[in-house]
Amino acid sequence: MLSSLKRLIIGRPLRTEQLQEEKLPIWKALPILSSDALSSVAYGTEQILHVLAPIGVLALWYSLPISGAIIGLLTLLILSYRQIIHEYPGGGGAYIVSTDNLGWFAGLIAGASLLIDYTLTVAVSVSAGTDAITSAFPVLHNHSTLISVFFVLLLMILNLRGLRESGTIFSFPTYLFILGMLGLVLVGLGNVAVHGIPADVPPVTHTFPVGLTWFLLLRAFSSGCSALTGVEAISNATPAFRKPETKNAARTLALLGLLLAVLFGGTSMLAYLYHITPSPTETVLSQIAEETFGRTLPYYYIQGTTALILILAANTAFAGFPLLASIMAKDKFMPRMFASRGDRLNFSNGIIVLALAAIGLIVAFEGEVERLIPLYAIGVFLSFTLSQTGMVVRRWKQRNPGWMRKLAINAAGAVVSFIVLLIFAVTKFTEGAWIVVLVIPVFIFAFYQVRKHYEAVAEELRIDIATDKPEKKDHVIIIPVGGISRVVRNTIAYAKTIGDDVVAIHVAFTEEDAEKMEKKWEQWNPGVRLVVTRSRFRSVNGPVLRFIDMVQERVGDNLITVLIPEFIPRRWWQRFLHNQSALWLRFLLLLRKDVIVSTVPFHLRK
Amino acid sequence: MLSSLKRLIIGRPLRTEQLQEEKLPIWKALPILSSDALSSVAYGTEQILHVLAPIGVLALWYSLPISGAIIGLLTLLILSYRQIIHEYPGGGGAYIVSTDNLGWFAGLIAGASLLIDYTLTVAVSVSAGTDAITSAFPVLHNHSTLISVFFVLLLMILNLRGLRESGTIFSFPTYLFILGMLGLVLVGLGNVAVHGIPADVPPVTHTFPVGLTWFLLLRAFSSGCSALTGVEAISNATPAFRKPETKNAARTLALLGLLLAVLFGGTSMLAYLYHITPSPTETVLSQIAEETFGRTLPYYYIQGTTALILILAANTAFAGFPLLASIMAKDKFMPRMFASRGDRLNFSNGIIVLALAAIGLIVAFEGEVERLIPLYAIGVFLSFTLSQTGMVVRRWKQRNPGWMRKLAINAAGAVVSFIVLLIFAVTKFTEGAWIVVLVIPVFIFAFYQVRKHYEAVAEELRIDIATDKPEKKDHVIIIPVGGISRVVRNTIAYAKTIGDDVVAIHVAFTEEDAEKMEKKWEQWNPGVRLVVTRSRFRSVNGPVLRFIDMVQERVGDNLITVLIPEFIPRRWWQRFLHNQSALWLRFLLLLRKDVIVSTVPFHLRK
């Protein structure tokens, strides 16, 4: 029954041969690989305004230079990642690039950051997607956590089924979103061009208004950098492109950079011109769309495609997390279960763990995007820094023709990413970044412990097949019996089958019972010795364990088998009607060395 | 660790010989056996007023004749139960008396009613006790459910430890309560005698005020009958009395009747004179005490002793429920676990089940006494009716000298109890009594099913010790192996020890792996055949199960043993690092007949 339910939800198992990758043309790769990056537009501007708006209307103007700086950073990152594409045509995730060039330790830092970030991608994107929905339909606002959890579970199930076959369908939402956002930016700026700048536009200042400090400005900048998350996705997936892979991937990356710059810049500009400030019940993007179109069809189109692309962005983490976990599991840094493919050929354990972790975050932070953001981008920029530093080292080691220019680009990327990382760590530390700063070392410690354990186990289990052969041993069989019945007869028959040295033990609670049992056993004469012990504490397991200890002491290195007679009722609920002492005894015996426990089942027919 | 925690909470185990009953003198039996009945005074009057007060001030007077009728009913019950004491000196609970005289079916109805009522006694008494506390300290009012749950858990732990030794201590609260209540009634009525009847006493009417109907009057009467719950406790416990048991028990019962009549009548009288109406935040008894003493020390004394005796009343159910459950378990109508004594010689399973059920009720009804009452007294009066009817039948069958007078008393008790039962069922049906009316048949059905199962099992397990001897059989041993390692060597060594026909099975995911394994096995040559099967679905268990099927078909009735190699890591968390496929395979195999599964453990040292 359980397995047919599983089949209904997950689908029927696939054969190993069916594992093959579809090669993507640019038009299909762009939407699939860049939904994470593009969707950040939905919350990037809002995060800047969250810092500036409380200071006052005079601070709002600063959102424009900050957005400019972020677009500059974006350009540098795009250039750096194009380098990685050419250098790692097999896919250059931060874990691989760092391990390859900077060693295991750097690789593990990158791995930890990425696993955390994939989880946060799901939590942030799904929460932001839910915000887009509740902005359009305020009546849903109070249920946003529940809606987010529902979406995560939906993504989990879809991914457990395997999503590849529906790849084409998944490219539509991204194009619809791009189209809608370009329309919004054009119509919005066009309106301003035609009707002139609105009257209440926040004034431009060149001195700091009261309350604005460099610290707050940097914090606003680092919050805005959440718009850059996801730009590394294309360079991770180079082998998925149609030939020529590297060229196509590089082109797609450039295209992504251009789109991201236009949409993010346009959104920030419109937010400024419309004098929009963040609200707890409506997103900044929703306010911009409402200001531009009113609550008409185009408004709902923007909200709908925003929600869709955000959910899709979360979906990219459902591809990335399990893949990275499987690579790290193969390197023995993570539990082996992450490396095994499920019925539908995906890494199902990774998918489930990611979903549960994301749900945990959403519930803990009540699905509030601005509270999740401080945890988010720190890992992203940590992995950016490590990748770029790795590339610098690589360039230096190889010194191929033209290496100096390339090294310079990567070095610039590394330095700038590192600076942003520092800004992040400092300005967001008390708001939640400390959690990540704390968790990464814990993860790295865990990775090492896991590897150490696997190596120790492998060492201990290894045998020399030339000399190390299994040998027959002597053994004693012990059967705890509660009385004389078919179950006991059945167990003794089995005991006689597997050995000659068999002894039964009975625990009596009163002297009278003890004598009765001894007498009845003698009459029955099953060909097996019986030892009767007395228990004044009405406990069976204690005396049985003590008897086994005694036997173990006497036989030394010989094997001891404990056969537990057990009858199995026909229906599951009937189990509650019988003492589960057999189960408990087995559990206690499993902790002992050199004792083999076996339950000899007797299946009831009625 | 778990077992030392258990020892800390429950205490060290006791020996079976330590089981002995202390014989009670009257002065000690009265408080211990009548706390349930006496404590009902704390809510009896309030339940009457709950029905009358909403009708208006003119209806309040009717609380007096209703209380009078209830005291009349009490007198009749006391007389009837004195009969049971003399007839059943071994203890005459409704289950025993009904089974004995009316047959199994009547006994089971009584058993079901009593089990339900014990549970409700805990829920109602603890909730009312909490009300007494929150009336005195209103700040606690919002936490009443939590406080009630805490008290139930406390009672559970105390009872699991075994309470007998502290019996004397438990008699104080009852005496303190009796003293306080007598004082309250005397001072209250004395005040009225000295200062005259208060000005705002509700007027006496002889016609029904608007809104009052016979139906409501009967409902008020049946609510007030909740004050009579617990009067049967003394007759259940006759053998616990000091000699002459029956005489002492009968005396104690008479004493209880007198006290109950005085306290209940006095409380109802004062509530009427003071014109008190029920309040959601303060009990009627608390209002009476406040009116009489003000919020002075005597007020807090009344509230404190009321809370204490109510908790104590709940405690009587913790003695009654497990005892009844154990009797019914010995009669095979309830799961066997209820009949076995725990470490401290008490029926620990009954104690735990009672506590959990009572907590369930308290949480479901938010600890509101007036919502629990409709469920309560129906079972009490059902068991009263059955006991008394049983006695009528017994008198008729025996017809000893003077039987007619005795039969008349029991018949009157039976008829009146039955009428009250009908009134209850009708007037309270929609308020919750339907739950009990529904649950009792379900319980009875379950009792029969349990008995049927035990009888079928006993029948199926019975053997003829003269002819039915265990015989040695042929058997095949199958070992699923994942590779060649110490764990596998260990398992094969064991297999060779227990039999000669051993076969290993390996599941390979690719053709390449299959050939590699076959070759390596040949080199190793452990003296055991290897069968390699291919799985294209990356599942190990499926092919192993199919192989076992195949072998089973070939060997027919012979035994099959499956030995699962398993290594056990040194620390529990390390288990997560290894696939638990052995566990799953064992589970799947446990469902099969004629296959014995054994895990051969290999304990890792590192």
B201 three-class SS:
coil
Q: Which two tokens stand for residue A361?
A: 């975050």
> Does some domain include residue B366?
yes
> Does some domain include residue A325?
yes
| B601 close to A (CB below 8 A) | yes
A589: which chain B residues are within 8 Å (Cβ-Cβ)? none
A296: exposed, middle or buried (C-beta count within 10 Å: 0-12, 13-18, 19+)? Answer: exposed
What's the gap between Cα A420 and its chain centre?
25
Sign of CA dihedral A211, A434, A225, A352: negative
Same domain, B364 and B506: no
Q: Give A574→chain B minimum CA distance, Å.
A: 8
> Does some domain include residue A306?
yes
Q: What is the pairing mode between strands B502-508 and B529-534?
A: parallel
Q: Give A502→chain B minimum CA distance, Å.
A: 12
Q: Which of A538, A591, A599 has the highest number of chain B CBs within 10 A, making it the mutation to test binding with B?
A: A538
Same domain, A385 and A516: no
The contacts found for B464-471 with CB under 8 angstroms, 24 or more apart, are B465/A484, B465/A520, B465/A523, B465/A524, B466/A523, B468/A486, B468/A489, B469/A489, B469/A524, B469/A525, B469/A526, B469/A527, B470/A489, B470/A490, B470/A491, B470/A492, B470/A493, B470/A495, B470/A496, B470/A526, B470/A527, B470/A528, B471/A493, B471/A496
- Nearest 5°: phi and psi at B515? -65, -40
Q: Max CA-CA distance within chain B?
A: 111
| Ranges in chain A, pLDDT < 70 | 1-3, 5-22, 92, 162-169, 343-345, 572, 575-577, 579-580, 606
B459: which chain A residues are within 8 Å (Cβ-Cβ)? 606
Nearest to A16 among B14, B463, B509 (CB): B509
Same domain, A447 and A516: no
- Of B454, B483, B512, which residue sits at a domain end? B454
DSSP A21: P
Q: Tell me how many domains chain A contains.
A: 2
B423 three-class SS:
helix
List, in order, residues 6 or more apart from A584 with CB less than 8 Å away: A541
C-beta of residue A403 within 8 angstroms of C-beta of residue A395: yes
Q: How crowded is the C-beta side of A227, counted as CA atoms within 13 Å?
A: 35
> Does some domain include residue B446?
yes
> Does some domain include residue A12?
no
Same domain, B411 and B548: no
Q: What is the pairing mode between strands A595-603 and B475-480?
A: unpaired
Please tell me the predicted confidence (pLDDT) of residue A322: 87
> Does some domain include residue B429?
yes
Looking up residue A524, the CATH number of its domain turns out to be 3.40.50
- Of A422, A454, A486, which residue sits at a domain end? A454
Q: Which two tokens stand for residue B445?
A: 């059905």
Please tell me the predicted confidence (pLDDT) of residue B20: 55
| B568 close to A (CB below 8 A) | yes
Nearest to B489 among A468, A472, A599 (CB): A468
Please tell me the predicted confidence (pLDDT) of residue B598: 85
Same domain, B154 and B82: yes
A281: exposed, middle or buried (C-beta count within 10 Å: 0-12, 13-18, 19+)? Answer: exposed
Provide the phi-psi class of A56: left if phi over 0, else alpha when psi is between -120 and 50, else beta: left
Please tell me the predicted confidence (pLDDT) of residue B9: 66
A472: which chain B residues are within 8 Å (Cβ-Cβ)? 493, 496-497
Q: How many CB atoms lie within 10 A of CB B531?
A: 15
Nearest to B493 among A472, A526, A527 (CB): A472
Same domain, B499 and B408: no
Q: Which two tokens stand for residue B113?
A: 């009613």
Which residue is it, tokens 């994301």?
A358
Which residue is it, tokens 């042929």?
B474
Partners of B504 in the β-ladder: B479, B530
B15: which chain A residues are within 8 Å (Cβ-Cβ)? 536-537
Length of chain A as a residue count: 606
Please tell me the predicted confidence (pLDDT) of residue B344: 66
- Of A419, A454, A489, which residue sits at a domain end? A454
Same domain, A486 and A379: no
| Contact between B598 and A597 using a beta-carbon 8 Å cutoff | yes
Which residues 454-513 of A have a C-beta within 8 angstroms of B? 454, 456-457, 459-463, 465-466, 468-475, 484-487, 489-499, 509-510
Whole-structure pTM over 0.95, yes or no? no
| Ranges in chain B, pLDDT < 70 | 1-3, 5-22, 92, 162-169, 343-345, 572, 575-577, 579-580, 606
What letters, b where the CB count within 10 A reaches 16 and e where it falls short, cover A379-393? bbbbbbbbbbbbbbb
> Does some domain include residue B304?
yes
Same domain, A450 and A479: no
Whole-angstrom CA distances from B29 to B88, B351, B389 are 18, 22, 27
Q: Which residue range is the domain that position A412 belongs to?
A: 23-454
Peptide bond into B565 cis (omega under 30): no
| B204 close to A (CB below 8 A) | no
Which residue is it, tokens 């369930």?
B360
Please tell me the predicted confidence (pLDDT) of residue A166: 43
Same domain, A449 and A480: no
C-beta of residue A259 within 8 angstroms of C-beta of residue A265: no
Same domain, B434 and B500: no
Same domain, A375 and A489: no
CA nearest A176: which of A285, A307, A293, A265?
Answer: A307
| Contact between B460 and A606 using a beta-carbon 8 Å cutoff | yes
- Annotate A251-317 with three-state secondary structure: HHHHHHHHHHHHHHHHHHHHHHHCCCCCCCCCCHHHHHHHHHHCCCHHHHHHHHHHHHHHHHHHHHH
DSSP B503-559: EEEEEESSHHHHHHHHHHHHHH--SSEEEEEE-TTS-SHHHHHHHHHHHHHHHTTSE
Helix (H) or strand (E) holding B186: helix B171-195
CA nearest B390: which of B409, B414, B406, B408?
Answer: B414
| Contact between A460 and B574 using a beta-carbon 8 Å cutoff | no
Which residue is it, tokens 């412990």?
A449
Please tell me the predicted confidence (pLDDT) of residue B212: 83
Looking up residue B127, the CATH number of its domain turns out to be 1.20.1740.10
What is the chain A residue with the closest CA to B14? A537
Nearest to B335 among A17, A576, A597 (CB): A576
pLDDT in tens, A185-199: 999 999 888 888 887
Please tell me the predicted confidence (pLDDT) of residue B599: 81
> Does some domain include residue A10?
no
Same domain, B481 and B363: no
Q: Which two tokens stand for residue B260?
A: 């109950």
Please tell me the predicted confidence (pLDDT) of residue A580: 66
List, in order, residues 6 or more apart from A62 with CB less than 8 Å away: A52, A212, A217, A220
Q: Give A595→chain B minimum CA distance, Å.
A: 8
What is the chain A residue with the closest CA to B329? A577
B508: which chain A residues are within 8 Å (Cβ-Cβ)? none
The number of C-beta contacts closer than 8 angstroms across A and B is 202
B435: exposed, middle or buried (C-beta count within 10 Å: 0-12, 13-18, 19+)? Answer: middle
B454: which chain A residues are within 8 Å (Cβ-Cβ)? 577
